[in-house]
Amino acid sequence: MTGTDGHFATLSPEERERTLNLAAQHLRDGKSVILPTESVYGVFVHANDHGAELLASLTKPATFVHTPQFTLHLADLDWIFPLFEIESAVTRRLIHKLAPSPVRMVLRQPEHVLLQIREKLGVSAGVVDLRDMVAFRVPDHPIARSVIRQSGHPTLARGVGVSIWGGLGGADLANTTVFEDADAPEVIINEGPALYGKSSSTINLWPDGRFRIGKVAAVDEAFIMDKLKTRVVFVCTGNTCRSPMAEGLARAWERRRTPNGLTIEVSSAGVAAGEGSPASDQTLQALREREIDLSTHQSRLLTPEMVDRADIILTMTPSHAQAVMQIAPDSAHKVFPIDPLNPIADPIGQPIEVYREVADQLETLIDARFKEFIDE
């Protein structure tokens, strides 16, 4: 067990593993534990009626007025969708972008889904729901997520107003807890200062895709809105023909679609590009014929930072995909040839008719790929 005087990072790997296992076992046994999150430290309990009663006895009521008093804390993104009924691609995309993060999501659900959630968790009406709302988040902290995951069940949690154990942080001091109960947490994992030192921010979600940003605390509105972007990078070799052509066509696709609150940010780069070269004359002409202006394009070399920032990387050939993964080995989950069966041949040096054919290919592929990846 790690207490307020210890520091998790100073433990041996075996001791850390035992501490995580012990915390998970305490949750399974109906006890409470204190875990670090990226926002503040929190008291965690099993998400059932007993856990809710225990959490209420140990902590002061949350300051939420118009949303549920208890927030479900889940281990992973794939814990979310089996619980809820979400038909809107926009709402699904928002959840994908905000889990994990220091953002509490308040989702509206029909009564029959709320009933299913209560039955699955073993909670009474009004514990995790209020009217048609249920609140949840996936904390962006490896310790909290590991313990929840090992416990095998959703948890409830409330912040204790502490951003560094033994000292008050920037969280609402009204939530600071003084433990005097016999059921006080026996496991306290001290990880040092919390990243944000403030309670979670809140976003309200509707199944039809509407959303509204509520309380802003750990992160501001700009952070949340930035998460709503999908960043797509097109990659070829020199970044003067195929990938800038795809970038221009993708921007045109984005302008044509019906606004829905989400934005798509497109760019391009080359795995062997020089810096600052314009798009080829034939590329510019093929795009002008589609009323797309790429005259300000300047080639750039793909960097690990570009790969890290991107959500999706679409390459012109499988060999380009391999080159991207050599630049950033952890990127395999988001790198795809735009056409895995038919590589887009380099039109460099070919007549304008070839560039038009490449533009036709890319236009069709972008429409298909964006509908697949962006989940329109």
Any idea which fold 228-373 has? Rossmann fold (3.40.50)
Angle at 105 between CA 199 and CA 185, to 5 degrees: 50
Residue 251, pLDDT score: 96
Report d(CA 310, CA 236) in Å as an integer.
15
**All residues at 6 or more sequence positions from 181 whose CB lies less than 8 Å from its CB, including other chains:** 57, 58
pLDDT band per the 50, 70, 90 thresholds, residue 50: very high
Closest CA to 51 of 65, 30, 35: 30
Report d(CA 292, CA 305) in Å as an integer.
28
Cβ–Cβ under 8 Å, residues 184 and 76: no
> Which residues are known catalytic residues?
236, 242, 346
**All residues at 6 or more sequence positions from 360 whose CB lies less than 8 Å from its CB, including other chains:** none
Q: What's the average model confidence in pLDDT over 117-145?
A: 95
Q: What's the average model confidence in pLDDT over 149-169?
A: 75
Report d(CA 16, CA 4) in Å as an integer.
15
pTM, to two decimals: 0.78
Residue 179, pLDDT score: 53
Q: What's the average model confidence in pLDDT over 202-226?
A: 89
pLDDT band per the 50, 70, 90 thresholds, residue 323: very high
pLDDT tens, residue by residue, 75-111 = 999 999 999 999 887 788 889 889 999 999 999 999 9
Cβ count near 280 (within 10 Å): 20
Residue 296, pLDDT score: 96
- Identify the CATH homologous superfamily for domain 8-225: DHBP synthase (3.90.870.10)
Q: What's the average model confidence in pLDDT over 321-335?
A: 94
pLDDT tens, residue by residue, 351-361 = 999 999 999 99
**Lookup: tokens for 335:** 């790198």
Residue 317, pLDDT score: 97
Q: Look over the chain and give the mean of its residue pLDDT values, rounded to a whole number.
A: 89
What are the boundaries of each domain within the chain? Answer: 8-225, 228-373
- The single-letter DSSP state of residue 289 is T
**All residues at 6 or more sequence positions from 306 whose CB lies less than 8 Å from its CB, including other chains:** 233, 267, 269
Cβ–Cβ under 8 Å, residues 32 and 43: yes
pLDDT tens, residue by residue, 233-272 = 999 999 999 999 999 999 999 998 877 667 889 999 999 9
Examine the pLDDT at 153 and tell me if it is beyond 50.
Answer: yes
pLDDT band per the 50, 70, 90 thresholds, residue 285: very high
